[in-house]
Amino acid sequence: MTDCFELLQEPRRPWIDGDALKARFLELSAAVHPDRVHGGTESQRAQANARSAELNAAYNILRETRDRLFHLLELERGAPSRDIQRIPAGTMDLFVEIGQCCRDVDSFLAKTPNSDSPMLKLQRMRQALEWSDRLMALQRQVHARRETVEATLRQMNGAWESAPTPGSAERKGHLPLESLEEAARAISYVSRWTSQLQERLGQLAA
């Protein structure tokens, strides 16, 4: 499989600085941009387009934490992760609370006021604000969860930096792959929750 880290000349590791990754991507992309071979042969232009597309795809994978972690796991294990939908340890209560809150907000939004009464409009506005406050409180919990996982990923970098080189028989045993998979699942749920909560906050504000 394609090694996106190798394509972007980045060492394999769970945590990557986003700004540094973007700078590396722009530098590499500029060197192979199709415009540089605008007057070249059809083969040269095709090669430049293919290389540019490869770099773009690799960058899109590495810049998204969830995609980067599952890609790294697949590289190190030689196979895709299984059971990635399993709820991470310690997040069941949050999973249930967010799911119930989103369903309750959806139910509230589905109820169209059947009166133009200013009193009823004011009441609905107050209810919308109450739901927004609850969603934002959940957002803060999700944000805290993300920060915890990201701190763990930064600490994991040391294991990759000191690991035997890729391809060596000892490498897999040196790396905390189970912990990395747990972090990948956690980030996956955090991203999903962030999107769900933000979507409903936008609907309540409309």
Instruction: Calculate the alpha carbon distances from 166 to 72, 156, 161 in Å.
Output: 12, 16, 11
Residue 137 CB neighbours (<10 A): 12
Spatial separation of the C-alpha atoms in residues 19 and 55, rounded to whole Å:
16
CA-closest candidate to residue 187, choices 147, 154, 133, 158: 147
Q: What's the full length of the chain, in residues?
A: 206
CA-closest candidate to residue 156, choices 75, 72, 61, 80: 72
Q: Determine the Cα angle at 150 with ends 80 and 1, to 5°.
A: 25
Q: Provide the percentage of residues in the chain whose pLDDT is more than 90.
A: 72
pLDDT in tens, 93-132: 999 999 999 999 999 999 877 767 888 888 889 999 999 9
Mean pLDDT of 53-79: 95
Q: Three-state SS for 8?
A: coil
Q: Assign a CATH topology to domain 4-63.
A: Helix Hairpins (1.10.287)
The DSSP result for 101-158, as a single string, is HHHHHHHHHH-------HHHHHHHHHHHHHHHHHHHHHHHHHHHHHHHHHHHHHHHHH
Q: Say what angle helices 177-205 and 65-77 make with each other, to 10 degrees.
A: 160
Say yes or no to pLDDT of 37 above 80: no
Residue 197 contacts residue 140 (beta carbons within 8 Å)? no
Domain boundaries, given as residue ranges, for the chain = 4-63, 92-205
Overall pTM surpassing 0.75 (yes/no): yes
DSSP-H helix ranges across the chain: 4-7, 18-31, 42-63, 65-77, 92-110, 118-161, 171-174, 177-205
pLDDT in tens, 146-190: 999 999 999 999 999 999 999 899 999 999 999 999 999 999 999
Residue 146 contacts residue 65 (beta carbons within 8 Å)? no
